[in-house]
A and B are shown apart, each in its own frame.
Chain A
């Protein structure tokens, strides 16, 4: 330590010694360089900051302002303070949409995690055609939400859909996918899982590949069954992946729009209405834009909470590993 310091000091004096006169100019030159570097930095950042500032931060602040205004059609008139938010509290559709969002999230997230982990373990094992199977599971990730939702409409159509045809063919009754709330909700969950399982599998596969095979060898020598190896080795060791996916899945489920908008538009009745579809409906169907802005602010706050949890988790993961 001390030797290191002394040697560094030595080298500094050595460098300084022949050039005592240039110290002053060198410093001012360095300041100028730093000034130029800062200018260059803002040059590099500029286009991005302009885009984000104008089309993201400005609308965000504006949305907050609009949520405090009275709305009439597309224009806003007069300040009403917290009136829009008070209206939210007393609005049964808002509450139903909130509950639907929560239920949808609570069902889809654990299922996405479990299916993702199960498939990752399967696809990480020795299997012929493993690459092909992985590709098939990834594929729904890149298909547009509208096309996927329209596939869902087609599969789950009550009279002509293939799912009900198969059920009837098997001697069962077809399910009321469009006319009954619970069935409609289930159809949306199934389509969401189809989209989402690939992403969960990708992250879990990366997590599994970080586990040393020696741990499994040791567990086998101890006589652990496959289930015990899965339960006491795999599950704890992919913990960081699970945490990351938990947050990402919650945010995804919480913001799911395309699937619900196209498949059920929140119906039948309000049984599949969620916060994002309710906000859209108010903003661009019933044209109550200030109210829509208030719902938007609520969505923003909830999103912010989960993003903050994600960061904290990442930071603790960084310091741990």
Chain B
């Protein structure tokens, strides 16, 4: 309506003051911006409330982990420790094989991750770039296992690891855990995006399938490998149901099983339980904060298709 002048807005504003429509326009703009401002404030308040609710359980875990026993059992409402103490950490380190459990979790997670990621990268490449008979059918079969919960297989898996003579050892946890399909799915999706021309060119240069995989494909798969490693580490570090069945000796427990054991021994000593819980979630939280982009992409992608 008003021709735009390169001179500036002030000039235009001055000229339109005696325009009839102007006050209404200005009024509407002001009203909209007031409404926008109030909606902005409302959104911010809502976001803060949601953030507080999401953080509160973690805050409470940390608070109790550093509180003296009397606070934990008090019927008073204290949102802050009466004094900061390491008493609970002394309890779990002196009374329980906490360091061993932590080490067991690390060892099992590292082995499962190396095994799973290697095997899934190989299989993902075969499904994405190689031609062989029965490819579609095998892929469908592999995919169909993605959603099977451990409770379907646990009885037979328990007998299997017993028959194999590995029941109660780390291997009883490691092998069934490494037999997972979600990584194959991610690997295939990613590798399909690698242009065939690269592979053809390498073939012309005389490279074999293995050399192409190691020297052409893998260097292009760094983001994929990062996602696979992080997600596998997270799943394995947190895994509970199967290690609960496969392990029997408390010296070989992983942290989640150790947590349950501690609770069985200490009942309602929530301070000690929260100290161990805090210890068990810290490595994953650090990884998550450092590599949030990969975690979120991986979780969304392993979902989106």
Contact = CB atoms under 8 A, between A and B. Distances in A.
Contacts of B238: 142-146
Nearest to B55: A136
A33 B245 CA distance: 47
B24 interface: no
Interface in A189-236: 194, 199, 202-203, 206, 226
Contacts of B270: 153-154, 157, 160
A283 interface: yes
A53 B247 CA distance: 22
Interface stretch (B10-18, B46-54, B82-90, B221-229): B46-54
Contacts of A283: 154-155, 158
- Of B47, B181, B210, which is in contact with the most chain A CB atoms at under 10 Å from its CB? B47
B99 interface: no
Contacts of B144: 304, 307
Nearest to A206: B300
Interface in B231-253: 234, 237-238, 240-241, 245
Most buried by B among A151, A226, A255, A290: A151
Contacts of B61: 147, 151, 154
Contacts of B234: 142
A226 B42 CA distance: 14
A144 B156 contact: no
Contacts of B299: 141, 199, 202
B245 A38 contact: no
Nearest to A165: B77
Contacts of B133: 38
Contact of A48 (B58, B119, B209, B210): B119
B92 interface: no
A42 interface: yes
Chain A CB within 10 A, most for which of B75, B159, B284: B159
Nearest to B270: A154
Most buried by B among A119, A261, A296: A296
A90 B145 CA distance: 30
Given A38-B132, A139-B58, A258-B240, A48 B184 contact: yes
Contacts of A59: 153, 156-157, 160, 176
A154 B63 CA distance: 12
Interface string B53-83: 0110110110010000000111111000000
Given A51-B119, A303-B148, A289 B285 contact: no
A135 B153 contact: no
A285 to B, nearest CB: 11
- SS class, residues of chain A in contact with chain B: helix
Residue among B119, B255, B289 facing the most chain A CB atoms (10 A cut-off): B119
Given A37-B209, A146-B240, A151-B277, A54 B179 contact: yes
A60 interface: yes
A24 interface: no
Interface residues of B, number: 94
B38 interface: no
Nearest to B54: A136
B4 interface: no
A159 B75 contact: yes
A126 interface: yes
Given A41-B131, A299-B152, A166 B126 contact: no
Interface residues of A, number: 97
A276 B57 CA distance: 26
Contact of B60 (A154, A194, A261): A154
Given A66-B155, A202-B296, A248-B303, A150 B60 contact: no
Interface in B190-248: 209-210, 213, 234, 237-238, 240-241, 245
A56 interface: yes
Contacts, number: 274
B153 A63 contact: yes
Nearest to B237: A144
Nearest to B146: A307
Interface in A154-185: 154-155, 157, 159-160, 162, 165-166, 168-169
Interface centre among A66, A135, A226 (most CB of B within 10 A): A135
B144 to A, nearest CB: 7
A203 B304 CA distance: 8
Given A160-B73, A194-B57, A304-B144, A150 B273 contact: yes
A138 B39 CA distance: 24
A85 interface: no
B280 interface: yes
A280 interface: yes
Contact of A292 (B43, B72, B155): B155
A255 B150 CA distance: 9
A127 interface: yes
Contacts of A51: 119, 175, 178-179
B190 to A, nearest CB: 15
A169 B77 CA distance: 8
B170 interface: no
A298 to B, nearest CB: 9
B145 A56 contact: yes
Interface in B134-192: 135, 138, 142, 144-160, 162, 175-176, 178-179, 181, 184
B209 A45 contact: no
26 contacts: A38-B132, A41-B131, A44-B125, A45-B126, A49-B123, A54-B175, A55-B175, A59-B157, A60-B148, A62-B159, A74-B162, A139-B54, A142-B285, A142-B288, A144-B240, A145-B238, A147-B256, A151-B58, A199-B303, A203-B300, A226-B39, A257-B151, A258-B241, A297-B152, A299-B152, A300-B152
